[in-house]
């Protein structure tokens, strides 16, 4: 493991700067979904158990480098205190003296790091100031690891650094899925546009054995092969790129699975009149809204032999019935295999999580990433500044 965890650190009597993601939704001044808060509880609990004093660093919203009262982290104190089972002390303008004056088992929350323009600029002055506040740096915000900011990257070079429990779980899951996977590896990539996932597709074809392409993206690939996709969502200006990806996959020995049959309708609406036709027989006035049963069967056979699954994006218009059928079928099968211990399944991305939840499959997946941009950039093979900084710190100690 190229980065350290809390288990590698001596935290007794230490102040631990802990970067977390608590950018949670609010309604009427209260947290409306505390999922992100709950996910940092193990890290805060373990730091305290090891004798450390966690000092939480976080951003909230987009204040653009200026104090914005509505975006103060102070409003999260009640939810954080409830989650941790102890009172959280909020400090607007931190100093080492103020932190040292607090009890050794205190949990501290510092004001929104983005209230300073130096945060997003990764200004060495802010990183240096943050480093004066702690003895150890712990990054538990994988979702912000793709951003080189003072609190996510800069300070990690100035203190002994490690990954928190959530960061550790995320990195371990992703490494097992892409860096050192059990084969065969299947990737499911769906969604509306090829253009937003070019780097992802380009990286995956050289890493996986089978790549299932669904959603609007699949229509672009079908169109690239000269197939009329009617009024379907497709990027006709991306057909050359789609052909290049197909060629790259063939060269790499990666099988690309596209729909062989499709479910079409004349309107985008729940329970719209629909029919199943061959992938090359979409009526000119219709639109493709889901993969058909023959495609679902082909995906099922591929999944049945898989050892590792990476999933990003739905296979059809999962938001409306009955065009969620292909997504639900594949998700259910992956969930059953994961429960049986025969499949390592890692999924991420907003639509993906929503689709898997709708299918009732999310809880059975080996790991669900809520990191969004950081998850995608990792899958694209890019270096994440926040992770690279932890690796550098580990090398230097």
Annotate 22-86 with DSSP letters as a single string. ----EETTEES--HHHHHHHHHHHHHHHTT-EEEEE---S--TTS--GGG-GGGGHHHHHHHHTS
The Cα–Cα gap between 39 and 315 comes to 28
**Active-site choice (373, 381, 382, 392):** 373
**Active-site choice (14, 19, 36, 114):** 36
What are the distances in angstroms from CA 124 to CA 17, 93, 120, 127? 16, 18, 11, 5
Task: Please indicate whether residue 193 is annotated as part of the active site.
Answer: yes
**Active-site choice (13, 85, 350, 360):** 350
What are the distances in angstroms from CA 56 to CA 202, 294, 374? 37, 51, 20
Task: Please indicate whether residue 29 is annotated as part of the active site.
Answer: no
**Active-site choice (50, 193, 266, 339):** 193
C-beta contacts of 278-283 below 8 A and 24+ residues apart: 279/222, 279/227, 280/222, 280/227, 280/228, 282/227, 282/228, 282/229, 282/230, 282/232, 283/230
Task: Please indicate whether residue 50 is annotated as part of the active site.
Answer: no
Task: Please indicate whether residue 298 is annotated as part of the active site.
Answer: no
What residues form DSSP beta bridges with 88?
Answer: 107
Terminal Cα-to-Cα distance of the chain (whole angstroms): 14
Active site (catalytic) residues: 36, 193, 350, 373
């Amino acid at each position: 493991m190229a980065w350290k965890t809390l288990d590698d650190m001596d935290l007794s009597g230490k102040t631990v700067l802990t970067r977390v993601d608590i950018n949670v939704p609010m309604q009427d001044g209260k947290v409306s979904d505390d999922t992100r808060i709950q996910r940092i509880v193990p890290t805060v609990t373990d730091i305290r158990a090891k004798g450390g004093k966690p000092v939480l660093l976080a951003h909230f919203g987009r204040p653009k480098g200026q104090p914005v009262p509505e975006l103060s982290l102070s409003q999260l104190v009640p939810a954080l205190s409830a989650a941790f089972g102890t009172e959280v002390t909020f400090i607007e303008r931190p100093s080492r003296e103020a932190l040292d004056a607090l009890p050794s088992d205190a949990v501290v929350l510092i004001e929104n790091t983005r209230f300073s323009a130096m945060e997003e600029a990764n200004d060495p002055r802010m990183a240096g100031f943050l480093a004066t506040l702690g003895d150890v740096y712990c990054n538990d915000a994988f979702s912000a690891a793709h951003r080189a900011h003072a609190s996510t990257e800069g300070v990690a070079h100035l203190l002994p650094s490690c990954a928190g429990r959530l960061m550790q779980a995320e990195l371990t899951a992703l490494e097992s899925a892409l860096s050192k996977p059990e084969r065969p590896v299947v990737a499911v990539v769906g969604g509306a546009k090829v253009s937003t996932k070019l780097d992802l597709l380009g990286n995956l074809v050289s890493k996986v054995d089978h790549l299932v392409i669904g959603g609007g993206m699949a229509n672009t690939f079908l169109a690239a092969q000269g197939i009329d996709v009617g009024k379907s969502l497709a990027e006709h200006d991306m057909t050359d790129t789609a052909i290049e990806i197909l060629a790259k996959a063939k060269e790499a020995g990666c099988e690309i699975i596209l729909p062989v049959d499709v479910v079409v309708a004349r309107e985008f609406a729940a329970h719209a009149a629909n029919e199943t036709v061959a992938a090359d027989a979409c009526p000119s006035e219709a639109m493709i809204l889901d993969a058909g049963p023959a495609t679902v069967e082909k995906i099922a056979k591929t999944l049945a032999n898989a050892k590792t699954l990476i999933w990003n994006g739905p296979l059809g218009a999962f938001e409306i019935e009955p065009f969620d059928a292909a997504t639900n079928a594949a998700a259910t099968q992956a969930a059953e295999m994961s429960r049986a211990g025969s499949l390592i399944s890692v999924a991420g991305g907003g639509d993906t999580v929503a689709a898997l939840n709708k299918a009732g499959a999310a809880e059975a997946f080996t790991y669900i990433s809520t990191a969004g941009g950081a998850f995608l950039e990792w899958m694209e093979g890019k270096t994440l500044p926040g992770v690279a900084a932890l690796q550098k710190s580990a090398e230097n100690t």
